[in-house]
Structure 1
Amino acid sequence: MTSHDATLGARTEDLGRALQIAGSRLDDTVFGKVASSVAGVRERLALGVDHTVVALAGGTGSGKSSTFNKISRLTFADVGVKRPTTAKVTACSWSDDAATLLDWLGVERERRITRAGELDSADEAALSGLVLLDLPDHDSVAPGHREVVDKVLPLVDLLVWVVDPQKYADDALHTGYLRDSSGMRASTVVVLNQIDTVPVGQRDNLVNDVKRLLRDDGLDDVPVIAASSKTDIGIDDLRGLLEQTVARRSVSAGRAAGELDAAATLLLGQTPAEVPWHIDTVLEREVDALARAAGLESVAAQVGAAVRNGYGSPEFRNPDPDSIALSRSRWLTGSGESLKPGWQRSLAESVASARDVASAVSAALQGITLDTRGPTTQPLTRRLALGAVLLAVLLGIATVLASMGILPVGDTWTTVLGVLAVVAAVAALVVFLVAMQMRRALAARRAQGVIASGRAALERVLQQTLGVPTQKLLDEHRAVRELAQSARDDGPSVPLRVEENPTTGSQIRVSSTGGARLTDLRSVRA
């Protein structure tokens, strides 16, 4: 696989993966165009985009096949004697891997020759990768000839029209082909063949007349090379031009690169660069909303009251469906605000419905323990408090009886009994207050525990029902964009241009995506 094949292949596969990930989230028109581009480029890659395809086209008797033989330095193409007619495509390739392309073009096996062997001269290396085609005569009456020409034109890096001094103004050539190929003027050159048959003093006038006709056809910038396949005038100039054409990225590669770039641009238009969404901020806000919808704080308060009071059976009610739907709607709006409509629809379909979110909230909250039991020391403190109260009562009665003289213990013991009764009462009060404080502290902890457990459960619900699907979609959105960016062309795709400087000779400038370079070809001398 050649460098352009490998590069374009990688870009094509990136675009194919992006298309597969995005799928129905893309606009139908965009999806169709990108899919068509991927399929088209794959087909071109199968043909090999690093071949430089040059086609010789012309009418009967123009010397096209003779020019083909001169360029290839072989006597291979048909050169008629009685009626010089080219009826089938002949190909000469300076490449060993052009068979698939030639098969697709319908070039018969016996009409192909390859110039890539060790026996070829060293100067043929400059044409490595060239596929030179000798097309059927455009003015032939055979119905399939135009079809062959039309099939070749989209792959042509350079279309060489070979005309002769007698029929260069043929209306069939100009109205049937040249005027329709104005869009290809940057990759077209005209060879005025058989210039040796024209008097030296008339050659410049003839070349200028050909240029005038080309301007009338909308082909202002197309150069005209005066040549002769009989005397070799201009043949070296034409080969030099082909060498410069081969040195640059082929039109097929350029068109494939441009098509991928256009398709990637369409995809990038469907995937905005920034999606300002952060799950942490959204989670905190929506957990608050779900907590209110489920009455979390109310249940927590009931648990606290039950712990303090020693009775009560708090429970979670079903969350408010409207609040759940509103929370889900806010989530979709926030996370999908920067997405295109197709991605927004996919997001809405991928996250759980409001009903499913509500069911998940109910199930999660039902799993939270609502512990209303009192402190574990409650039985002991109760017994201590009751014992202290009982002791205080007994001591109080004894003090009263002693003070009334009914219990003869004397004044000293009467005072002692009174003090002990007060101490027992204070002890009972202290134990009661301590127990009450312990219950209050426990009630607060239990209430906070219910809130913490409830919020954690609600956060897990949001993560599972909304967060995970949302993050997955946004990751895919980012992946599509990154793949589309990698499928973009790494440089401007400038079509092959052939310009002739306003000089008497054939000084030709060839430029393409590989950069511009000036080639001074030998002047055509009469």
Structure 2
Amino acid sequence: MSVPTSAGADTVSTGGPAGGSTGGSTDGSTGGPTGEPTGTPVPDAAVSVTVGEETVALSARVAALESALDEAGERLDPDASADARAAVTRLRERLALGVDHTVVALAGGTGSGKSSLFNRVSGLRFAEVGVRRPTSSQVTACVWGPGGAPVLDWLGVQPELRIQRESVLDGESEAPLRGLVLLDLPDHDSVEPAHREVVDRLLPQADLLVWVVDPQKYADEALHAGYLRSLAGQDTSMLVVLNQVDTVREGERAALVADVTRLLAEDGLPDVPVVAASAATDEGVPDLRAGLARVVAGRSLAARRAEQEVTAAARRLAEGVAGHEPAPAALATGPIVAALAEASGMDAVTDAVAAAVRGRGVRVPQIVPVHPDAVRLARGSWLAGATADLPERWAASVRERVASADALGRHVGYALGDVTVAVRRSRAAAVLVALAAVLGLAGLVVGGLGAGEIVGGAGVTGTLRLGGVLLALALACLLVGRAVRARAARRAAARVRDEGRAAIEEVARQDLVEPTAAVVAEHRRVRGLLDTARG
């Protein structure tokens, strides 16, 4: 026998009933397991949810999705954000129940014997069979292991119609089915509308739909037209059990199974397994239990639905973030500092300071406020580069977060007003120039005396040579003094320029870079959270 190892109807239901249901079903089977029940009814909320790895992992992804929404605020698509928040609410409610249980629903028509099969699979005499079932449309459930009460509350199963299968007497014999929630649904072909309403409500919640048919009515149009044909393409989430084969001669069973398979193919379900079984003789039941164990070992429908929903929400939101953040170079202040420095006349001021220090008698101008148009142009150019790689809503957030052009201009003006523009000539250069003058004058005097001695016929004397030395020293002092003065001019100009640029850069950092970097960091966190939510 082959039973699907993965299951789940395509119809997605993100909510579930909170209360129970009423009504009944007719079950014509009179067979049933022997022995007394070994399970006990599960009282409402008697045990807490068993939280498994699936629930923990999906809860973390939902938390990441919610954190991304909180961090992004209005910077993601409003419709996508609204849908994602609604999904978070639904997913939290569903994950609070846990998604580690596997729901298998036994569905069938009147007389198919599904309640007897329910008893045989569970090994308990719990589900009502025979003529008692038509009086109620209530669902009977058997849970293997703890933690099923909240799920059964969500499915709407009455507390008195629940039973927990495993007990200390079972040891590990029932361990392969631990986490299974087996539902015995009302008859889908009942004359009572309430019965079909219960079936229609619970079928989409099942990981595996086990359709129980009997040799007499397996071709019933109510089953094929009312249900199976509408489920075409969902082969992996269904199984058909041809029950009561003990009433058919062995030589005819294969042909009967082949005919059921043919009808399923005509319904668009060619790959649905068909299992021959008998609740009366236990034939096929061990194989059915083994197949259910394989389904339990896989992921539950609730887990798959939750993953699909959180993934879809995260992917839709991810359309509102970029694949990467702007490079650090995009937030560099060099271009805007240069533009504002030029607009403030900083270069002209530094040139005048240098000339004044060199002693040219130039009047040093003051640093003027930057023209508003220049500020707007410089600010706009910087923002265009800094936000080039960000989606529009994030770029708008940057523009809202940074200082306005008027505020930026005021702050630059205040900062430049504190820059000291003063001309301090080099004392060393002044001393050297003065010394050069003294030495030059002395050299001229001494040289004049030496020239007189030559005229008197004494020839070249030491006096003339001394005058030459003094003149050479004067020239050297003059050249060194000019070099020292030029160096002082360059240092004074550089000090004004560096102080002015530092003042502009500090304003740009506070007014532009820091707010932009904060938005970029938020974008990075949102992108990472959405990556986590997408798994």
Report whether the alignment pairs 1:365 with 2:416: yes
Q: Aligned ranges for residues 511-522 of structure 1 at < 5 Å?
A: none
Q: Aligned ranges for residues 114-193 of structure 1 at < 5 Å?
A: 114-193=164-243
Corresponding residue for residue 278 of structure 1: 328
Instruction: Report the 3-state secondary structure (helix = DSSP H, G, I; strand = E; otherwise coil) of the residue aligned with 1:122.
Output: coil
C-alpha distance in 2 between matches for 1:278 and 1:361:
23
Corresponding residue for residue 30 of structure 1: 80
TM-score, structure 1 as length reference = 0.79
| Deviation readout 1:181-233 (Å, 9 max, x if unpaired) | 23532111111222223343433333233223322322221111122212222
65 and 82 in structure 1: CA distance in 2 versus 1, 3 angstrom threshold: closer
C-alpha distance in 2 between matches for 1:484 and 1:348:
24
Corresponding residue for residue 287 of structure 2: 237
Corresponding residue for residue 93 of structure 1: 143
C-alpha distance in 1 between matches for 2:395 and 2:203:
43
C-alpha distance in 2 between matches for 1:126 and 1:94:
9
CA contact (8 A) 1:60 1:84 kept: no
C-alpha distance in 2 between matches for 1:86 and 1:457:
84
Question: What displacement does 1:103 show?
Answer: 0.9
1:5 equivalent among 55, 65, 68: 55
Question: What displacement does 1:110 show?
Answer: 0.8
Q: Aligned ranges for residues 358-397 of structure 1 at < 5 Å?
A: 358-375=409-426
C-alpha distance in 1 between matches for 2:127 and 2:210:
16
Q: Name the aligned partner's letter for residue 338 of structure 1.
A: D
Q: Name the aligned partner's letter for residue 491 of structure 2.
A: R
C-alpha distance in 1 between matches for 2:474 and 2:250:
137
| Deviation readout 1:418-456 (Å, 9 max, x if unpaired) | 999999999999988877765544333211111111222
Q: Name the aligned partner's letter for residue 336 of structure 1.
A: T
1:321 equivalent among 348, 352, 372: 372
Report whether the alignment pairs 1:447 with 2:493: yes
C-alpha distance in 2 between matches for 1:15 and 1:353:
33
Question: What displacement does 1:101 show?
Answer: 0.8
Corresponding residue for residue 58 of structure 1: 108
Structure 1 residue runs of 5 or longer lacking an equivalent are 404-411, 413-417, 490-526
Q: Aligned ranges for residues 289-300 of structure 1 at < 5 Å?
A: 289-300=339-350
C-alpha distance in 2 between matches for 1:388 and 1:202:
136
Corresponding residue for residue 516 of structure 2: 470
Report whether the alignment pairs 1:73 with 2:123: yes
Corresponding residue for residue 37 of structure 2: none
Question: What displacement does 1:121 show?
Answer: 4.9
C-alpha distance in 1 between matches for 2:201 and 2:97:
13
C-alpha distance in 1 between matches for 2:296 and 2:97:
17
183 and 469 in structure 1: CA distance in 2 versus 1, 3 angstrom threshold: farther
Question: What displacement does 1:160 show?
Answer: 0.7
CA contact (8 A) 1:275 1:335 kept: no
Structure 2 residue runs of 5 or longer lacking an equivalent are 1-50, 453-457, 459-463
C-alpha distance in 1 between matches for 2:291 and 2:111:
24
C-alpha distance in 1 between matches for 2:251 and 2:290:
26
CA contact (8 A) 1:385 1:431 kept: yes
Report whether the alignment pairs 1:198 with 2:248: yes
Corresponding residue for residue 383 of structure 2: 332
83 and 346 in structure 1: CA distance in 2 versus 1, 3 angstrom threshold: closer
Instruction: Report the 3-state secondary structure (helix = DSSP H, G, I; strand = E; otherwise coil) of the residue aligned with 1:50.
Output: coil
Report whether the alignment pairs 1:457 with 2:503: yes
Question: What displacement does 1:309 show?
Answer: 4.5
Q: Name the aligned partner's letter for residue 11 of structure 1.
A: R
Question: What displacement does 1:48 show?
Answer: 1.1
> How many pairs were matched up?
476
| Deviation readout 1:11-53 (Å, 9 max, x if unpaired) | 2222222222223222234323433443333222112111011
Instruction: Report the 3-state secondary structure (helix = DSSP H, G, I; strand = E; otherwise coil) of the residue aligned with 1:123.
Output: coil
C-alpha distance in 1 between matches for 2:141 and 2:160:
10
Q: Name the aligned partner's letter for residue 333 of structure 2.
A: L
206 and 423 in structure 1: CA distance in 2 versus 1, 3 angstrom threshold: closer
Corresponding residue for residue 485 of structure 1: 531
CA contact (8 A) 1:65 1:134 kept: yes
When structure 1 is superposed on structure 2, of 292-301 and 313-322 the one drifting more is 313-322
Q: Aligned ranges for residues 415-454 of structure 1 at < 5 Å?
A: 439-454=485-500
TM-score, structure 2 as length reference = 0.78
Instruction: Report the 3-state secondary structure (helix = DSSP H, G, I; strand = E; otherwise coil) of the residue aligned with 2:230.
Output: helix
Q: Name the aligned partner's letter for residue 479 of structure 1.
A: R
CA contact (8 A) 2:326 2:520 kept: no
226 and 425 in structure 1: CA distance in 2 versus 1, 3 angstrom threshold: closer
2:405 equivalent among 354, 379, 393: 354
C-alpha distance in 2 between matches for 1:362 and 1:299:
15
Instruction: Report the 3-state secondary structure (helix = DSSP H, G, I; strand = E; otherwise coil) of the residue aligned with 2:174.
Output: helix
C-alpha distance in 2 between matches for 1:9 and 1:421:
98
419 and 72 in structure 1: CA distance in 2 versus 1, 3 angstrom threshold: closer
C-alpha distance in 2 between matches for 1:447 and 1:133:
89
When structure 1 is superposed on structure 2, of 90-99 and 331-340 the one drifting more is 331-340
Instruction: Report the 3-state secondary structure (helix = DSSP H, G, I; strand = E; otherwise coil) of the residue aligned with 2:146.
Output: coil
C-alpha distance in 2 between matches for 1:253 and 1:230:
35
Instruction: Report the 3-state secondary structure (helix = DSSP H, G, I; strand = E; otherwise coil) of the residue aligned with 1:159.
Output: strand
1:46 equivalent among 96, 106, 111: 96
When structure 1 is superposed on structure 2, of 360-369 and 35-44 the one drifting more is 35-44
When structure 1 is superposed on structure 2, of 66-75 and 296-305 the one drifting more is 296-305
- Percent of aligned pairs with the same amino acid: 48
Corresponding residue for residue 15 of structure 1: 65
Q: Name the aligned partner's letter for residue 352 of structure 1.
A: A
Question: What displacement does 1:335 show?
Answer: 2.5
C-alpha distance in 2 between matches for 1:86 and 1:214:
30
C-alpha distance in 1 between matches for 2:290 and 2:511:
68
Corresponding residue for residue 498 of structure 1: none
C-alpha distance in 1 between matches for 2:195 and 2:509:
66
